[in-house]
Structure 1
Amino acid sequence: MKIQVLVAAMHQKDHALLEKMHLKTDAIVANQCDFNSVEDFEWNGHKIRYLNFAERGVGLNRNNALMRATGDICLLADDDMIYVDDYVEKVKKAFEKFPDADVIAFNLIEPKITRYVIKKAYKVGFLNYLRFGTARVAIRLKSVREKGIFFNQCFGGGTEHSHGEDNIFLTDCLRKGLKMYAVPEYIAELTEERESTWKSGYDEKYFRDQGALYRMISPRWWKFLCLQDALRHRKLYDCFWVTSYKKMVGN
């Protein structure tokens, strides 16, 4: 079982990221910067490819790596992550425990816990998959390729709609019959040292983009998804739920 890390990175000028992320596998670093080049080399016995492109958009960046991936199992990483020493073993064991898995979500270590914490292993479905982002996900490359699944290039940092590309990706995985599991293993620490390209607070644009995301996920039920979001996050948004709901649906 060959593990490969696919890193979505920005403004990398050298190869220091490999050591910084504590990588112990082959990797593709999709680096959005201000020049174009492709670098192939060996590092600590692993095959590394840098895709340096003068372009923007996180979906496009992840697709550049995904199209060129060669691993059996691929981790979808960001450049502000540091992998734990035994991440390779943890990922392999998870796919051995769930041999029918096409996608597996893991836990991330955070300075301040903001993400959902997996406490026991379970199968993920349409009722609970939106709690996961792709930075904590590993995919079986063959399964994703056979179903023709890629990242939507109109959503995510650097695009018209500043977030949601990971939600749409996982939606497509489930919609096309891929099996997804969650396991309570921590595989990396999220440093969050790089400023987000979209987290400017829960402003008008955030709510419009959230509504556009739900409409993409489910054209039939998108307004219901907006409603549950407004109700579930009413304390987080710090506004009356009707207000956030109306902003999401464009009223």
Structure 2
Amino acid sequence: MSIQVLVATMHQKDTDLINTMNIQSDAIVINQTEQHDFEEVHYGNHMALFYSFKERGVGLSRNNALMRATADYALLADDDMVYRNNYPQMVEEQFAKYPDADLIIFNLEEDIPTRYIIKEPFKVSKRNYMRFGAARIAFRPESVKKNGIFFHLCFGGGTPHSNGEDTIFLRDCLENGLKIMAVPVTIAKLTEERESTWFQGFTEKYYRDRGALFKVLSPSLYPLLILQFVIRKYKKNEKMPSRTQQIKYMLAGAKEM
């Protein structure tokens, strides 16, 4: 079985990222920078295709990698993660364990945990898919491509709406009948060497972007998504706007879509 890591990154001056991330399989690196370039990098028995493009948008980077993916399995990756040794075997073992799965979601190690931790295997459904980000997803490129699934170009870093492209991607996979499993296996550690590229506090933009995302996820039921988000996430000590103001911001964002 073959594996490719699909890396979205920016402003890389060389190809050292392959070693920094401890990539032990083939890879496709999409580097958004100020010029167009291509380099084929060989290391061990593996090869990385290193593309540089003068463009912006994480969804665009992921699509550029996805359209070029040829392996049996692909992993979505950001440049602030370091893979564990033998992660290719971990991925192959989980797909062998769940042969009907088109996507498998793994855990990521963090010094200070902020992401949802999978403690036991479960099937991902429309009730729980919104808790997962792109950098923990492995998938069968063939399954995704034949259903015409790609990343939304209006969401994620470098786009009008600063996050949510991974949520829309998982929603689209589920709506096309793809099967997704979440497993309690950790394949990489986040280095946490940089601040979030999209979260700058509970600002008006944060809520407008969230409203736009809810509108895309559910054009008819997005007001309910907004309401449950405000009820579930409100914390007085986080310097958030009032619940009423949050709803106004999110409804305004929804109108943009």
Give the TM-score category using the shorter length.
over 0.9
Q: Provide Cα deviations, 1:140-186, integer angstroms capped at 9, x if missing partner.
A: 11100110100011111101111111111111000111000100000
Conserved? CA contact 1:2–1:72, under 8 Å = yes
Other-structure match for 1:94: 94
2:196 counterpart of 1:202:
no
Name the SS for the 1:157 alignment partner. Answer: coil
Name the SS for the 2:108 alignment partner. Answer: strand
Matches of residues 120-199 of structure 1 in structure 2 within 5 Å? 120-199=120-199
In 1: Cα distance, 2:242 partner to 2:184 partner: 35
Name the SS for the 1:135 alignment partner. Answer: helix
2:246 counterpart of 1:244:
yes
Q: Which amino acid aligns with 2:240?
A: D
What TM-score, normalized to structure 2? Answer: 0.95
In 2: Cα distance, 1:66 partner to 1:78 partner: 14
Q: Provide Cα deviations, 1:179-237, integer angstroms capped at 9, x if missing partner.
A: 00100000000112133321111100010010000100110111111111111111257
In 1: Cα distance, 2:73 partner to 2:135 partner: 14
Other-structure match for 1:37: 37
Percent identity (aligned) = 53
Other-structure match for 2:73: 73
In 1: Cα distance, 2:229 partner to 2:87 partner: 33
The worse-fitting range, judged by mean Cα deviation, of 112-121 and 228-237 is: 228-237
In 2: Cα distance, 1:120 partner to 1:197 partner: 30
Structure 2 unmatched runs, 5+: none
The CA RMSD over aligned residues, in Å, is 1.3
Number of matched pairs: 251
Matches of residues 224-239 of structure 1 in structure 2 within 5 Å? 224-235=224-235, 238-239=240-241
Conserved? CA contact 1:101–1:180, under 8 Å = yes
What TM-score, normalized to structure 1? Answer: 0.97
Name the SS for the 2:170 alignment partner. Answer: helix
Structure 1 residue ranges, 4+ long, deviating more than 6 angstroms after superposition: none
Other-structure match for 2:53: 53
In 2: Cα distance, 1:157 partner to 1:88 partner: 28
1:239 CA drift (Å): 4.2
Conserved? CA contact 1:158–1:197, under 8 Å = no
1:111 CA drift (Å): 1.5
Name the SS for the 1:186 alignment partner. Answer: strand
Name the SS for the 2:205 alignment partner. Answer: helix
Q: Which amino acid aligns with 1:122?
A: F
2:207 counterpart of 1:211:
no
The worse-fitting range, judged by mean Cα deviation, of 232-241 and 78-87 is: 232-241
Q: Which amino acid aligns with 2:247?
A: Y
Matches of residues 8-19 of structure 1 in structure 2 within 5 Å? 8-19=8-19
Q: Which amino acid aligns with 1:5?
A: V
Name the SS for the 1:100 alignment partner. Answer: coil
Q: Which amino acid aligns with 2:212?
A: A
Seen in structure 2, the aligned counterparts of structure 1 residues 237 and 132 have a Cα distance that, compared at 3 Å, is farther
Other-structure match for 2:21: 21
Q: Provide Cα deviations, 1:102-160, integer angstroms capped at 9, x if missing partner.
A: 11110000121100000000101000000001100001111001101000111111011
Conserved? CA contact 2:24–2:86, under 8 Å = no
Conserved? CA contact 1:102–1:139, under 8 Å = yes
